[in-house]
Amino acid sequence: MSVSGSGFIESSIQHIKQLWTSVKQPNIFLPTLFIFLWQATPHSESAMFFFITNKLGFTPGFLGRVKLVTSIASLLGVGIYNYFLKAVHLRKIFLVTTIIGSALGMTQVLLVTGLNRQFGVSDEWFSIGDSLIITVLGQAAFMPVLVLAAKLCPPGMEATLFATLMSISNAGSVTGGLVGAGLTKIFGVTRESFGNLPLLIIVCNLSSLLPLPLLGLLPDETGDSDNEETKHS
């Protein structure tokens, strides 16, 4: 048992050293840093959840239908990336989807202020349509992250490094949630008070543009570059 335990420890240390050697390479570290910062921008999802449940009175059944629509929308986003965006440069995809996503995210202000009802659109239908469009775009924007993570993995470390990169991406998302929660407290938005919620939504959506000057950290290639090289060869 002691021999087996020591062998496991030595093997783990060796894997950690190999992982660190791979991660600290600039061609891996810099794109990973961008992915973390891109995911770490704040969002207002928690505040919006309390608004649609406490203020608008959306029922669990309706929220379940919205979840079903967003699940279908995610598949649609994957299909859009696969058929239309796979040959587009990664930097361009991140640039365009981030800008469009920030603009579309502002539509939640219409729901919070009730302007959608002035245009004859109910809160329920507006929420479904808004969630559908934003989810399609969000999934299409997230696909390059998966492609980039797979392309960064060197031979022999594919599974370990891919899992590490996805953990870093998830850590960025958690960080964004914490920053968003901090902004929610600063703006005084609670489960009963939503006066500053429109301002919170605007700040969170504008902050998603902050990582764009760092697009140079990403490789200047397409998600399908390996296949293109194979075809040319």
Domain span at residue 190 reads 60-216
- Would you state the pLDDT for residue 4? 57
Residues in the chain: 233
Q: Give the pLDDT score at 225.
A: 57
The answer as to whether 12 is a domain residue is: no
| pLDDT recorded at residue 85 | 87
Question: Could you tell me the CATH number of the domain that includes residue 169?
Answer: 1.20.1250.20
Burial classification of residue 41, based on how many CB atoms lie within 10 Å of its CB (0-12 exposed, 13-18 middle, 19 or more buried): buried
DSSP per-residue letters across 197-224:
HHHHHHHHHHHTTTTGGGGGGS-SSBTT
Cα 65–chain centre separation: 22
- Asked if residue 222 is part of any domain, the answer here is no
Quick one: residue 57, left, alpha or beta (phi over 0 = left, psi -120 to 50 = alpha)? left
What pLDDT was estimated at residue 230? 40
Instruction: Assess if residue 120 is contained within a domain.
Output: yes
pLDDT number for residue 224: 65
Tally of structural domains, the chain: 1
Is 119 domain-assigned?
A: yes
pTM of the predicted model as reported, rounded to 2 decimal places: 0.83
Q: How far apart are CA 151 and CA 117, in angstroms?
A: 46
In a domain, 232, yes or no: no
CB 43 within 8 A of CB 182: no
Does residue 103 belong to any structural domain of this protein? yes
| Per-residue pLDDT at 231 | 44
Q: Is residue 194 included in any domain, yes or no?
A: yes
- Please tell me the predicted confidence (pLDDT) of residue 23: 74
- Cβ atoms of 168 and 25 closer than 8 Å: no
pLDDT score of 214? 92
Residues 81, 94 contacting (CB under 8 angstroms):
no
Residue 172 lies in a domain: yes
| Distance from C-alpha of 207 to C-alpha of 204, rounded to nearest angstrom | 5
What was the pLDDT predicted at 204?
Answer: 94
Identity at 53, one-letter amino acid code: T
pLDDT in tens, the chain (233 residues): 454 556 667 777 777 777 777 777 888 888 889 999 999 999 898 899 999 999 999 999 999 999 999 999 999 999 999 888 888 888 898 999 999 999 999 999 999 999 999 989 999 999 999 989 989 988 888 888 888 888 777 777 777 788 888 888 899 999 999 999 999 999 999 888 899 999 999 999 999 999 999 999 888 777 665 554 444 44
3-state secondary structure of 222: strand
